[in-house]
Amino acid sequence: MKTILIATDFTEASRNAAVYGLELAVAFNATVVLFSSYQEIPVPVTESPVIVTPADMKKYIQQLLEQEVKIINTGSRVAIETLTREGAAADTILEIAAEKNAGLIIAGMKEGGKGIRKMLGSTATALAGKTRIPLVIVPEKARYVEVSSIALANESDLDPHADNHMLDLIQEITARFHSKVYLVRVARDRVKAAYETLNRPFKLIRMMHTPGLPYGTIEGRNIPEALNHFIEGYHINMLAMLPHHRSLFEKWFSKSTTRSMAFETHIPLLILPELRAKKTGHKRVEKETLL
């Protein structure tokens, strides 16, 4: 992980995520790209709206980025490049991340009212659904700590055609911090829990290259509640999720699962994208990440 892209919209949540990203950059001796997008918007300063030109917006956002660097980079001496580009936030973040060959994208998540927002912000949600680069979403109140323990939540074993490098980042993190990894599933009842306990995800375990990887099933109909109970009980400081059809991530946020499912984790969420490829006849077919 040589480059980390940090997305910002200059809110407190983004600033907190940026500080988290800088600490990770120090730990991995990585460079940082601090990025913010912009779009042409009408500003109603008079009876007739005044159009702020893209050139004006670019200059203004660049100034904000430079100010942000002075605020967040206090003594860490991390190399920070600032960039801005016109366009939709999620799309431009992914474009820049690809161009800079970023190994990780970091974005913040805002709080709303008295509790965590009931859904991720639109940008973070879009990133989670589109990214082909590992993404860490940092809750607004989460503070950086060394990643000593990771809960890797999955719903099924890996696809036979899964990218063999999709777990590389977790292995980098565990090597750097000597982290303990717990592989965990959530089951709706005892019967399902017993079944899942017997059906270990052997491909996933093999790809982790971790002898004696702890694996277990926790029972609970409310996925966030069950995982949070596990997180608190085992002092987990990063939650990781893998993409699958009807993924755990999808269930977490789906309104059909509960009337309004809350994103209740207070620790950073690492989303590991998957790009699967296989041959059908003479054509190579790529399947997109399903989140």
Instruction: Give the pLDDT band of residue 227 (cuts 50, 70, 90).
Output: confident
Predicted TM-score (pTM) of this structure:
0.80
Q: What is the mean pLDDT of residues 227-254?
A: 72
Q: Could you tell me the residue ranges of all domains in the chain?
A: 3-139, 149-287
Mean pLDDT of 75-97: 90
Q: Answer yes or no: is pLDDT of 112 > 60.
A: no
Distances (CA, A) of 263 to 119, 138, 179, 231, 277: 6, 12, 24, 14, 31
Distance of CA 190 to the CA centre of its chain: 31
pLDDT for res 127 = 83
**pLDDT band, very low/low/confident/very high, at 263 (cuts 50, 70, 90):** low
149-287 matches 3-139 in CATH topology: yes
Write the DSSP symbol of residue 140: T
For position 91, what pLDDT does the model report? 92
275: its two tokens: 């790009």
Please tell us whether the domain made up of 149-287 is placed in CATH 3.40.50.
yes
- The more confident residue out of 216 and 45 is 216
* Per-residue pLDDT at 260: 28
Residue 288 — very low, low, confident or very high, per pLDDT cuts 50/70/90? very low
Which is nearest to 244 in space by CA: 203, 280, 274, 285?
274
Give the pLDDT score at 36.
94
Q: What is the mean pLDDT of residues 216-241?
A: 83
Q: In whole angstroms, what is the distance from residue 216 CA to residue 283 CA?
A: 39
**With the C-alpha atoms ordered 2, 104, 244, 234, is the resulting torsion angle positive or negative?**
positive
Task: Check residue 285 and give its pLDDT.
Answer: 36
Check whether 245 has a pLDDT greater than 60: no
Q: Which residue has the tokens 């990894």?
A: 181
d(CA 46, CA 43): 8
What single-letter amino acid sits at 37?
Answer: S
How much is the mean pLDDT over the chain? Answer: 76
Confidence of residue 107 (pLDDT cuts 50, 70, 90): very high
Size of the chain in residues: 291
pLDDT at 254 exceeding the cut of 70: no
* Cβ atoms of 264 and 116 closer than 8 Å: yes
Strand 276-280 and strand 283-287: pairing?
antiparallel
Q: List helix spans (H) across the chain.
A: 12-28, 54-72, 89-99, 122-130, 168-177, 190-198, 202-208, 223-233, 248-253
Q: Answer whether CATH 3.40.50.620 is correct for domain 3-139.
A: yes
> Which range is least confidently modeled, 51-55, 102-106, 141-145?
51-55
12 φ/ψ angles, rounded to the nearest 5 degrees: -65, -35
What is the reported pLDDT for 230? 87
